[in-house]
Amino acid sequence: MTPPGNERVPIQSEDDIVRARRIARTYAQELGIGLTNQTKLVTAVSELARNVYVHGGGGTMQIEIVSNRGNQGIRLTFEDHGPGIPDINLAMQDGYTTGNGLGLGLGGAKRLVHEFEIESWVGRGTRVTIVMWA
C-alpha cells in the first residue's frame, strides 16, 4: 500500500538525513519508481537534506504524492529558515561552495531528478522542490 503522503520530516541531525533517505526510498518503491530512479532520488535527497542541515541550520522535508494525467510521482520540498542564498545562479554552478564541500550538491541534485526548483530569500531561508515521476 502507498504510504499516506503529506508527511513533513525534520532534518536536524545526521540521523535525520539517513531517515529522510529511507523514507524517500520507501515512497519511491511504493509508487513503482524504477530502481535506477529510486537511487537517483535518494542521492538527491542526501545532497538537499545535507544542505538544509549544514548551510540552513536545519529544517524539514515535506513529502507529497502528485499525479499528472494518471502518472504518479513523489514531490519533496526541502525548507529551512537559514541565511538564504544571495546568488542562486552561482550556487547552482558545479564547484561553487562557501563551505568545505565539493560544490556539486545542487547541480548534481538537479540533474538526478525530473523537476527541480529552488527559491531563496536572503536572511529568511531556502526552499528546494524536486519531483520524480514513476
Ligand X SMILES: Nc1ncnc2c1ncn2[C@@H]1O[C@H](COP(=O)(O)OP(=O)(O)OP(=O)(O)O)[C@@H](O)[C@H]1O
Using H for helix, E for strand and C for coil, what is the string for 9-49?
EEECCHHHHHHHHHHHHHHHHHCCCCHHHHHHHHHHHHHHH
Closest CA to 128 of 97, 82, 94, 96: 82
Task: Rule CB under 6 A: choose which of 28, 56, 61, 76 binds ligand X.
Answer: 56
CA distance 126 to 133: 23
- 105 interacts with Mg ion by CB under 5 A: yes
Query: What backbone phi and psi angles, to 5 degrees, belong to 103?
Result: 70, 30
Least distance (Å) between residue 102 CB and Mg ion? 8
CA distance 72 to 128: 20
Binding partner of residue 85 among ligand X, Mg ion, none, CB under 5 to 8 Å per kind?
Answer: ligand X
Least distance (Å) between residue 54 CB and ligand X? 6
Query: 94, 78 in Cβ contact below 8 A?
Result: no
Per CB under 6 A, which region of 8-16, 29-37, 38-46, 75-83 contacts ligand X? 75-83
Residues in 108-127 that interact with ligand X by CB under 6 A: 126
Residues in 79-108 that interact with ligand X by CB under 6 A: 80, 82-85, 91, 96-99, 101-107
The DSSP bridge pattern shows strands 125-133 and 71-80 to be antiparallel
Least distance (Å) between residue 2 CB and Mg ion? 30
- 51 interacts with ligand X by CB under 6 A: yes
Would you tell me which residues interact with Mg ion (CB under 5 A)?
A: 51, 101, 105
Would you tell me which residues interact with ligand X (CB under 6 A)?
A: 47, 51-52, 55-56, 80, 82-85, 91, 96-99, 101-107, 126
